[in-house]
Amino acid sequence: MIDVASSFDKESEEYKELQYRIICGQNYQQNAIDRIKGCISKPMPKEWYDYRFAKNTDKSELNIKILADKKPYFFIYNYPYLMRRYKKYMSDVNKNCLIRFGLDVKELIEKEDRNEDEEQFLKYYYIKMPVFNNNSVMNRICWKIEKEFDGFKSIGTKEEDIFDSSILKSPTKYSKKRFTDIKSIYEDYNIKLREHAQNSSKSKIDKDEEKTKRIVFKDNFKKQAQEICNNEDELCNIVVDLCYKNNYSKQFAWDICGDVIIKNLLARNNNIVQYPIADDKGDIEFGGEKFSMFVKNLNEIDMEEEYDIDIK
């Protein structure tokens, strides 16, 4: 209702009526909660949110005008089903618009001298849209964020293509049979993950629950993989080849054998690591602070640790 109200002038009858309904809505909401305790309560009038009822009232014109039968645009990020419906609607409308007018919807909206057919098309485009895209505060914030992130996903895909994954591996060799065995359990894992993703996209599943399920799948894979190949260097090489030579998730390789990958990377660099430390005289600027690069040989750290243990 707040979203619908944003499309009317503050002094208008529609705006005032909607403000009244918003206040009443809060009361109806509280009543609905109390209803569970056994109280008798009045539900929200159906003509406020249902077209069929709004049509059959005395003030049908006003009721239809301010009908709140859809969710506002930004809700597509809250409900996966709404996002799906919105995307499908936009894709279909664009196709229809292109066939009829040779323009997509965006171009048609920007077109200045529209004919009757085009006006009619746009009228129904807004009516049939599964969400309200009024100029409400939340919708405007949503569009601003969308604009900021527009095209963000495509960054970095080319760099991945050039990446040489052999630096993550050790010189250990593996047999073809072991590779195919690991690949088959990896494919099983992918099927399970896909099924889980499909289920969670249909319903709103808690993020922590989703995370735990993924961890369970990964642990199962680890167990099965270790039964086939108990050499961690060999397993790491197989998993790296599986994930980096295909379009599979790279995160998976790091989750399964991240520690071995780090070990391999260190071995290639003589166990020397470089890392930035906050330093006022440093030559690297980041986040308003200055940093300097420090070099540490991990072989020396190991020796120091051993020495400490001996003293204790």
Contact positions toward other proteins, by CB under 8 A?
89, 92-102, 104, 121, 124-125, 128, 191, 195, 199
Closer residue to other proteins in complex, CB, 121/132: 121
Closer residue to other proteins in complex, CB, 14/104: 104
In whole angstroms, how close is the CB of 71 to other proteins at the nearest point?
18
In whole angstroms, how close is the CB of 220 to other proteins at the nearest point?
17
Closer residue to other proteins in complex, CB, 14/118: 118
In whole angstroms, how close is the CB of 200 to other proteins at the nearest point?
12
In whole angstroms, how close is the CB of 80 to other proteins at the nearest point?
15
Q: C-alpha distances in angstroms, 226 versus 147, 233, 239, 253, 257?
A: 46, 11, 12, 14, 11
Closer residue to other proteins in complex, CB, 46/87: 87
Closer residue to other proteins in complex, CB, 51/294: 51
Closer residue to other proteins in complex, CB, 127/295: 127
In whole angstroms, how close is the CB of 125 to other proteins at the nearest point?
5
